[in-house]
Amino acid sequence: MKDKTTAGLLAIFGGVFGIHRFYLGQTALGILYILLSITSLSAILGLIDGIIFLAQDEKRFDYKYNKHRYQYQGRQADVRQRPQRRSNAPVKKRTTQSPAPRRSTTSKKNPFFETGMKKYEDYDMSGAIADFNKALEISPQHVHTHFRLACAYSLMENKKKGFYHLSKAVENGMTKLDKIKSTDELAFLRIQDEYEDFEKNNFRLAPSVQPPADIKGLDEDILLRQLNKLKDLRDRGILTEAEFVQEKRKLSR
């Protein structure tokens, strides 16, 4: 783990040879500083780097130079959250005829959410984002899809879309709000200036804030597809006129 104070001191006293860049794992930049050491330019650059490191917020330094720690912790959290299987546990027989309550299977029925999660776990964020957006076409109000999109956009350092999908997750019923404060993948959003107001507003965007243009267009396209599906079901006699009107009102909210 890299320390910003150490990096700052190395930059000030050894910046002429790029020692701080080697310390931060930036080998190419370190070699460039060595090549520039025949002039006074590398010493000046090193002094500037040192001042920046020492004055920089620790969270921003960690996110930029210790990003592997966030990725590692994210993997560890996923492992801890997975239920352990008991191979030797006895099978209990049911003593009642009443059926067990059915769990929501929205994510299982949505193939794009499943493929998006696989790409997300493999850190293929561009592929995961593409699949998650397709999943929203099938289930526009799916909380987990919006939350994972927020995480992916945060890792891609796209704060506008990250805050937007995080707000949509809360708007559609996300209850475990502590995850927003503790999930490592959302670290980039938490260090933004807008985060404090976002948290005070119960993790929702202010009504005056407009979503990114491409997302706004995507929402309108999804709504149009949903309406066309409802019309098709009504025309085929699967939905009555009253059911059609009721479902249409839900989409318009």
**Number of neighbouring beta carbons within 10 Å of residue 31:** 13
Tokens for 253?
Answer: 């909210």
Task: Give the global pTM.
Answer: 0.49
Residues 61 and 135 in one domain: no
Same domain, 169 and 234: no
Residues 183 and 244 in one domain: no
Q: What's residue 70's pLDDT?
A: 56
Q: How far apart are CA 230 and CA 224, in angstroms?
A: 10
Block mean pLDDT (10 aa), the chain, length 253: 87 88 87 86 88 85 73 51 53 54 51 91 88 89 93 90 92 91 90 90 75 58 70 80 76 60
The per-residue pLDDT for 19 is 92
CA-nearest of 4, 54, 2, 59 to 191 is: 59
pLDDT attached to residue 248? 72
Q: By the 8 A CB rule, do 143 and 172 touch?
A: yes
Could you tell me the two tokens for 53? 């490191």
Give the Cα separation of 51 and 44 in Å (integer).
Answer: 11
Total domain count, the chain: 3
The confidence score (pLDDT) of residue 79 equals: 46
**96 lies in a domain?**
no
Residues 108 and 119: beta-carbon distance below 8 Å: no
Domain-located, residue 207: no
Question: What is the CATH classification number for the domain harbouring 183?
Answer: 1.25.40.10
**Cβ atoms of 65 and 2 closer than 8 Å:** yes
Report pLDDT digits (tens) over 66-124. 776 655 555 555 545 555 555 555 555 555 555 554 444 344 578 899 999 999 988 88
Q: Are 130 and 145 in contact (CB under 8 A)?
A: no
Dist CA 183 CA 193 (whole Å)? 18
